[in-house]
A = this chain, B = another copy of it.
């Protein structure tokens, strides 16, 4: 038993003598929680063991993760003790979220479970149902999910606990976010990066993050790296990153209780001093579970990871061992005859308003309304389409600056970026706030601020994880990112989207502010970076998730971007992806036209069309800023070549208008769709991303055989912006070619028309290779209808 001590100074501190009665009751609570956890893994019936355990009481399929449970319940019990003593506001984040049984047990003991799920009351029948629904068809998963009261953290994919905890702490002074981190999870990249939090967390204006690194020694089948590092080395690592380690270790419950109680007392004191304690907790994996099985050690080894006695239904010895194990918690002392926790157990629960399982922050119940500026006040003056250029995201930067200003006192809006905020032209925000930075500042540093509201760290994982934690506890935010590198967080955003869907089914959770992305530095402007920086597939990934929670917007210009961003920031419960370039681009719509266009989501641009009242020969459709520019230029090219051509021009801002309503709630009825895309009329669709996304979205539309999509075809390299389009056949000339070859009445002239277009392409190509630049006419786009 290592004594609790301040290992930083080497000298153990005086700890207050723990109260014996208190710790005895705490131990009872712990036993109750462990009993309830094991019960969830095994029992279909006979929840209080009123009868001898028989195979028919057991689940046919045994699923769950016992190994991490006792550490979670132990920590929960001791945090409860702190809460009772100090009336602390604590949010609990369980990194080893596969141990959801522990969290369910705690919530049930606190009464929260029965409040959230009235069909699972705090009595024998409720206990039976708590057990039965765990990992059972129609029930709840074996890992932390939105079903778990008090949780903001999906427990399946590992690595994000500390980032979520850090995000949850932002702007919540007084809150303690206790974050249990498994030593398995600690091997992941995102978790390893998360230790950098002290460089960003404000000790007074944010809550405190209290990491509890649970070194139970094993993953599924292997030891863990951090548990086998020499102890002084591990201390050295976390200390170097800004944390003050406090150690708790042992195999004797009584001694560990004393040690853990003293350690958390110490943590509370240090947090009050603005310091950053961290608990290194070393207890056995599967502690208090079966010691051996078939002669092999289980407790304290990787064999305790999942179900320690897997053959209880067919192996009588294992059945006996299970019954002994369950009875070792002495359930008769823990629950009254009706099955409710006895007072000695219940007394360990904090008062109603302070229960971690009912923390209103976790359920979206605390949200500080976001004030947003008038979009019109930030709109660019665009007297006519095509007469000016602007960096669209710079306009958004001014809008965000004013949003920051309007919410200054509310502390409810944060911006995140992997060191690209200014590069993304959002730097107007720095007029009202700075970049968060808690390390030393040096002369020449740019807009660093100890309590700045822009978080820049060169880790997409941290940006995403911090923002998720912030949103899940009621904040608002935006993550601006390189388009290609958004894939770094593919897996994280999938988990978040799935969380939103399931959370939406829990009536006791309120919809949280949406997760908003601004993807800039997009696929069409990687002229010098080339192929490795070109990947527009993040939106494909997003749209593979449930339609109820996913939205993708491709505003073609600044005023549309403003409307879309405003809409996204006002929304709740969604993942919104906005793709918009940061380079100077032609502007098309004034404030009113942009609002109307964005509200419809897609539609005709009559000023760019030449079909008048007649049925069009061809529809030129587009989505995305660069495709819009090239499609408009293609109209110009076509008008010049075939003056009497009837072209309809369609722009799509909201991709999810395209599919049928049963595919996506934004989908318009076929009637409205065909009013824009007439059946049997060829559509040349210039798309920002991979072409098949448009095919997929329009798959069930009447005219889908006539939709010809040009998009990114994975051709890139070091070249000019226009040549990037040419390489993917999405430039004005290829679009014009594609249109011409689908218009039957031009068949006779096709050869001549083609040749003229190819000649023009050649002229551009020669100029580019000779000078390194596009011809001036590419940027001086002045055509208007």
On A, residues with C-beta under 8 Å from B are 44, 59-61, 63-64, 135-143, 145, 154, 156-159, 184-185, 187-196, 199, 219-225, 228-229, 232-237, 239-242, 297, 301-302, 419-423, 435, 437, 439-440, 442, 444-446, 448, 456-462, 484-485, 487-488, 490-491, 494-495, 498-499, 501-502, 527-533, 535, 537, 540-541, 544-546, 690, 692, 695-696, 699, 705, 714, 717-720, 723, 768-769, 771-773
Please name all residues of chain B whose beta carbon is closer than 8 Å to the beta carbon of A239 when the two chains form the complex. 233, 236
Query: Do A423 and B157 contact each other (CB < 8 Å), given the known contacts A145-B532, A188-B458, A458-B184?
Result: no
Q: Which of B421, B446, B487, B695 contacts A696 (CB 8 A)?
A: B695
Q: Do the beta carbons of B535 and A494 come within 8 Å of each other? A: yes
Q: Do the beta carbons of A528 and B61 come within 8 Å of each other? A: yes
In the bound assembly, the distance between CA atoms of A440 and B145 in angstroms comes to 35
In the bound assembly, the distance between CA atoms of A439 and B191 in angstroms comes to 21
Q: Do the beta carbons of A544 and B533 come within 8 Å of each other? A: no
In the bound assembly, the distance between CA atoms of A235 and B769 in angstroms comes to 50
Q: Do the beta carbons of B528 and A421 come within 8 Å of each other? A: no
Q: How many copies of the chain does the oligomer comprise? A: 2
Please name all residues of chain B whose beta carbon is closer than 8 Å to the beta carbon of A527 when the two chains form the complex. 61
With both beta carbons as reference points, the residue of chain B lying nearest to A139 in the complex is identified as: B718
In the bound assembly, the distance between CA atoms of A59 and B527 in angstroms comes to 14
Query: Do A156 and B532 contact each other (CB < 8 Å), given the known contacts A189-B192, A537-B541?
Result: yes
With both beta carbons as reference points, the residue of chain B lying nearest to A497 in the complex is identified as: B714
In the bound assembly, the distance between CA atoms of A138 and B716 in angstroms comes to 10
Query: Do A459 and B498 contact each other (CB < 8 Å), given the known contacts A529-B143, A718-B136?
Result: no
Q: Do the beta carbons of B444 and A301 come within 8 Å of each other? A: yes
Please name all residues of chain B whose beta carbon is closer than 8 Å to the beta carbon of A195 when the two chains form the complex. 192
In the bound assembly, the distance between CA atoms of A191 and B460 in angstroms comes to 12
Please name all residues of chain B whose beta carbon is closer than 8 Å to the beta carbon of A769 when the two chains form the complex. 137-138
Closest CB in chain B relative to A718 CB, distance in Å: 5
Q: Do the beta carbons of A141 and B530 come within 8 Å of each other? A: yes
7 interchain pairs, CB-CB under 8 A: A44-B772, A157-B533, A221-B446, A233-B239, A236-B237, A484-B494, A695-B696
Q: Do the beta carbons of A225 and B237 come within 8 Å of each other? A: no
Q: Which of B233, B461, B531, B772 contacts A498 (CB 8 A)?
A: B531
With both beta carbons as reference points, the residue of chain B lying nearest to A188 in the complex is identified as: B459
Q: Which of B240, B437, B528, B771 contacts A223 (CB 8 A)?
A: B437
Please name all residues of chain B whose beta carbon is closer than 8 Å to the beta carbon of A444 when the two chains form the complex. 297, 301-302
Please name all residues of chain B whose beta carbon is closer than 8 Å to the beta carbon of A540 when the two chains form the complex. 540-541, 544
In the bound assembly, the distance between CA atoms of A454 and B233 in angstroms comes to 26
Q: Do the beta carbons of A439 and B228 come within 8 Å of each other? A: yes
In the bound assembly, the distance between CA atoms of A229 and B437 in angstroms comes to 12
With both beta carbons as reference points, the residue of chain B lying nearest to A163 in the complex is identified as: B189
In the bound assembly, the distance between CA atoms of A735 and B538 in angstroms comes to 31
Closest CB in chain B relative to A694 CB, distance in Å: 11
Closest CB in chain B relative to A315 CB, distance in Å: 18
**Given A222-B456, A223-B448, A540-B540, list of 8 further CB < 8 A pairs?**
A137-B768, A141-B532, A156-B533, A159-B488, A220-B423, A233-B241, A233-B242, A537-B541
Q: Which of B59, B156, B499, B528 contacts A529 (CB 8 A)?
A: B156
With both beta carbons as reference points, the residue of chain B lying nearest to A721 in the complex is identified as: B61
In the bound assembly, the distance between CA atoms of A189 and B535 in angstroms comes to 21
With both beta carbons as reference points, the residue of chain B lying nearest to A190 in the complex is identified as: B189
Please name all residues of chain B whose beta carbon is closer than 8 Å to the beta carbon of A462 when the two chains form the complex. 187, 189
In the bound assembly, the distance between CA atoms of A762 and B402 in angstroms comes to 57
With both beta carbons as reference points, the residue of chain B lying nearest to A501 in the complex is identified as: B531
In the bound assembly, the distance between CA atoms of A210 and B225 in angstroms comes to 20
In the bound assembly, the distance between CA atoms of A439 and B159 in angstroms comes to 22
Q: Do the beta carbons of B63 and A421 come within 8 Å of each other? A: no
Q: Which of B199, B220, B461, B718 contacts A419 (CB 8 A)?
A: B220
Q: Which of B194, B458, B488 contacts A185 (CB 8 A)?
A: B458
Please name the 10 residue pairs, one residue from A and one from B, whose CB atoms are nearest each other, closest first.
Answer: A189-B189, A237-B240, A236-B240, A192-B192, A228-B439, A487-B491, A63-B528, A189-B193, A187-B458, A137-B719
In the bound assembly, the distance between CA atoms of A435 and B223 in angstroms comes to 11
In the bound assembly, the distance between CA atoms of A223 and B420 in angstroms comes to 13
In the bound assembly, the distance between CA atoms of A59 and B690 in angstroms comes to 32
With both beta carbons as reference points, the residue of chain B lying nearest to A768 in the complex is identified as: B137
In the bound assembly, the distance between CA atoms of A196 and B528 in angstroms comes to 34
Please name all residues of chain B whose beta carbon is closer than 8 Å to the beta carbon of A228 when the two chains form the complex. 199, 439-440, 442
Query: Do A233 and B240 contact each other (CB < 8 Å), given the known contacts A139-B718, A158-B458, A491-B490?
Result: yes
Closest CB in chain B relative to A761 CB, distance in Å: 14
Please name all residues of chain B whose beta carbon is closer than 8 Å to the beta carbon of A137 when the two chains form the complex. 718-720, 723, 768-769, 772
Q: Do the beta carbons of A225 and B720 come within 8 Å of each other? A: no
In the bound assembly, the distance between CA atoms of A196 and B193 in angstroms comes to 13
Please name all residues of chain B whose beta carbon is closer than 8 Å to the beta carbon of A442 when the two chains form the complex. 223, 228
Please name all residues of chain B whose beta carbon is closer than 8 Å to the beta carbon of A422 when the two chains form the complex. 220-221
With both beta carbons as reference points, the residue of chain B lying nearest to A98 in the complex is identified as: B529
With both beta carbons as reference points, the residue of chain B lying nearest to A423 in the complex is identified as: B220
Please name all residues of chain B whose beta carbon is closer than 8 Å to the beta carbon of A488 when the two chains form the complex. 157, 159, 490-491
Q: Do the beta carbons of A537 and B544 come within 8 Å of each other? A: yes
Query: Do A695 and B690 contact each other (CB < 8 Å), given the known contacts A188-B461, A529-B141, A531-B502?
Result: no
With both beta carbons as reference points, the residue of chain B lying nearest to A228 in the complex is identified as: B439
Query: Do A771 and B718 contact each other (CB < 8 Å), given the known contacts A145-B530, A157-B488?
Result: no
Please name all residues of chain B whose beta carbon is closer than 8 Å to the beta carbon of A718 when the two chains form the complex. 135-142
In the bound assembly, the distance between CA atoms of A528 and B145 in angstroms comes to 12
In the bound assembly, the distance between CA atoms of A219 and B446 in angstroms comes to 12
With both beta carbons as reference points, the residue of chain B lying nearest to A132 in the complex is identified as: B772
Closest CB in chain B relative to A135 CB, distance in Å: 4
With both beta carbons as reference points, the residue of chain B lying nearest to A445 in the complex is identified as: B223
